[in-house]
Structure 1
Amino acid sequence: MQIFSGVSLFTILLLMAIGLAIVFGLMGVINMAHGELMAMGAYATYLTAITFARFAPQWMDFYLFVAIPFAFLVTFAFGYVLERGFIRFFYNRPLDTLLATWGLSLILQQTYRSVFGAQEVSVPLAPWLSGAWEPSAGIQLPLTRVFIIGLTAIVAVGVYLLLTRTRWGLRVRAVTQNRAMSGAVGINTRSVDALTFALGSGLAGIAGCVFTMIGSTNPGTGQLYIVDSFIVVVFGGVQSLLGTALSAFLIAQSQTTLEYLISGSMAKVTILLLVIVVLYFKPSGLFSNKSRG
């Protein structure tokens, strides 16, 4: 059960961190509003649920299969517009990007308060996700967590195949390694930037949808995971999606284990200290890609 709790936390961190790894690792953009994109996905899921409850209550059991792609599309579209109209003016200016996106996160939080209110909103759980799976006597695994783990695996594999087995993924990797040369051979680097940022935003939307299955949503929901997600990306190694996944697993399992042994706040402090020690000896991250000089 302790291992399963760690895997449950791992899924949320991984969904958030994959989007950050794409935007931060592949594009070099420090997006402090990534957590608010997660909240946007959560609110999109909430709107989907109340729409089904009002206009198609007989289909409420299946609203989640509409909410997941809807949350992705809403945040994907917002991310595309955001990159084209805002982010692209801050490339190669990391400090300015950090401050600008932090200001954007505050604007989005206030927007959520104005539209949805400051109080928390909850999404009804589909009946088929109620209860638990009992693989053996004394071990009960909540069906919601099992579903989330399966969804995370599908998303992670899909992103990996997209970046490594498609022409668009090849363009992304080419632009990452040598932007000037990629542009010289005919790759539209601006289009690659916009779609890459939009993909990272869409993944944050899916993370928000998943979050509604385990907790209530409020305007500050995204702030719960943004710091941990950045730690996962940096600890795993920038530009390494595999490193991001392994880092998320190690941090999630370590946190749940330490929380079981000591208090939650001390667990976070201990993990942060361990990350600092590792980065002191390996500044590029524990699982960073090796490159030839």
Structure 2
Amino acid sequence: MFADYSSTELLSIFAMQGFAGLSLFSVFVLMAMGLAIIFGQMGVINMAHGEFMILGAYTTYLTSQFFQTYMPGFFAGYFFVAMVLAFLISGALGAFVEWAMVRHLYRRPLDTLLATWGLSLIMQQAYRSIFGAREVGVNLPDWMMGAFQVTDLVELPVNGLFVMIIALSIALAVYLLMFRSGWGRKVRAVVQNRPMAEAVGINTAGVDRATFALGCGIAGVAGSAFTMIGSTGPSSGQAYIVDTFLVVVFGGAQSLIGTIVSAFSISQAQSTMEFFLSGSMAKVLTLLTVVIILMLRPEGLMALKIRR
């Protein structure tokens, strides 16, 4: 596999594919953070998480169309507006779903899985009815086009670097929210001992709703990032939901750092192996490696230690 390349060419290929995997890493880490918050903090398996991502992607598409048509002079900054709208719309829908459905299914993981899977099918059909079955794409502003020339063979795309900065910034914001704020202490108290949290006056139902809304809102931002690397269709989210669960379980369901490390490792492995192998074989080898590691370390890379 490597025999046909010189050492210089191999280094350039690894660097090129590593940079190419940054956009995939950004989508993975945003999707996985949202899912880790919901699954790790609440124990809810949200099979509709990919559809919340696509809601954010369609919101970004509609925002770009609106700016192109009615506010072309401000088109260069539409993406920032789209991210905020994607977060708010996806988060609001997440809060409604938690109130209308999920709160009735706590401590019933199989029922929650089936209910959210049904929700994902409903959302896919809604997207198909509203936007059509064909995929749509966004037009990027001029400042997001092009790439930085790192070497003669390696280029760093501007949009990929921008999305990665956004992903890491949101990861930092989530860390500060979860571990350096009063609300984060309430969330961790509910996770560790729900009856005791209720006894000291914490509104656990409100914490659950806000947590679910936050996870869905971050998935919406992941949808905005997704528009940078691919076109958006009604079922595009299903292509990422398995990888996202893989990232969360591999990193440790309640570990933010583990989620980031896992997302980076899996995205870089897939991006590099896809150059030398087919895309399906790259996924198979990545999955096989993760399964072997989880057999040796079932709690994940960086599981959170909680005193029981």
TM-score (norm: length of structure 2): 0.92
Give me the whole-angstrom Cα distance separating, in 1, the residues matched to 2:27 and 2:167.
Answer: 8
- By how many angstroms is 1:156 displaced? 0.6
- Which 4+ stretches in 1 moved above 3 angstroms? 135-138
Give me the whole-angstrom Cα distance separating, in 2, the residues matched to 1:53 and 1:6.
Answer: 29
**1:212 corresponds to which of 200, 205, 227:** 227
In the alignment, does 2:119 pair up with 1:109? Answer: no
Question: Aligned to 1:133, what secondary structure does the other structure show?
Answer: strand
Q: Which amino acid aligns with 2:103?
A: R
In the alignment, does 2:44 pair up with 1:29? Answer: yes
In the alignment, does 2:82 pair up with 1:70? Answer: no
Show CA shifts across 1:206-232 (max 9, x none): 000111122111101111211000000
Give me the whole-angstrom Cα distance separating, in 1, the residues matched to 2:219 and 2:270.
Answer: 22
User: Counterpart in 2 of 1:191?
Assistant: 206
Give me the whole-angstrom Cα distance separating, in 1, the residues matched to 2:213 and 2:284.
Answer: 33
- By how many angstroms is 1:41 displaced? 0.3
- Kept in 1: contact 2:76–2:142 (CA 8 A): yes
Tell me the C-alpha RMSD between the 2 structures: 1.2
In the alignment, does 2:244 pair up with 1:238? Answer: no
User: Counterpart in 1 of 2:179?
Assistant: 164
**2:169 corresponds to which of 147, 150, 154:** 154
Q: Which amino acid aligns with 2:235?
A: G
Question: Aligned to 2:237, what secondary structure does the other structure show?
Answer: helix
Give me the whole-angstrom Cα distance separating, in 2, the residues matched to 1:192 and 1:2.
Answer: 41
Give me the whole-angstrom Cα distance separating, in 1, the residues matched to 2:82 and 2:144.
Answer: 15
In the alignment, does 2:263 pair up with 1:248? Answer: yes
Give me the whole-angstrom Cα distance separating, in 1, the residues matched to 2:85 and 2:290.
Answer: 36
- Kept in 1: contact 2:23–2:229 (CA 8 A): no
Aligned length: 293
User: Counterpart in 1 of 2:9?
Assistant: none
- By how many angstroms is 1:261 displaced? 2.5
User: Counterpart in 2 of 1:287?
Assistant: 302
Question: Aligned to 1:63, what secondary structure does the other structure show?
Answer: helix
In the alignment, does 2:64 pair up with 1:61? Answer: no
Show CA shifts across 1:80-139 (max 9, x none): 111111111110000010000000000000000101111111111111111111244443
In the alignment, does 2:254 pair up with 1:221? Answer: no
Q: How does 1:6-45 map to 2 (within 5 A)?
A: 6-45=21-60
Q: Which amino acid aligns with 2:256?
A: L
Give me the whole-angstrom Cα distance separating, in 1, the residues matched to 2:121 and 2:160.
Answer: 31
Q: Which amino acid aligns with 1:263?
A: S
In the alignment, does 2:294 pair up with 1:268? Answer: no
**2:135 corresponds to which of 80, 99, 120:** 120
Give me the whole-angstrom Cα distance separating, in 1, the residues matched to 2:261 and 2:148.
Answer: 26
Which runs of 5 or more residues in structure 2 are unaligned? 1-15
User: Counterpart in 1 of 2:10?
Assistant: none
Give me the whole-angstrom Cα distance separating, in 2, the residues matched to 1:91 and 1:13.
Answer: 26
Give me the whole-angstrom Cα distance separating, in 2, the residues matched to 1:38 and 1:291.
Answer: 30
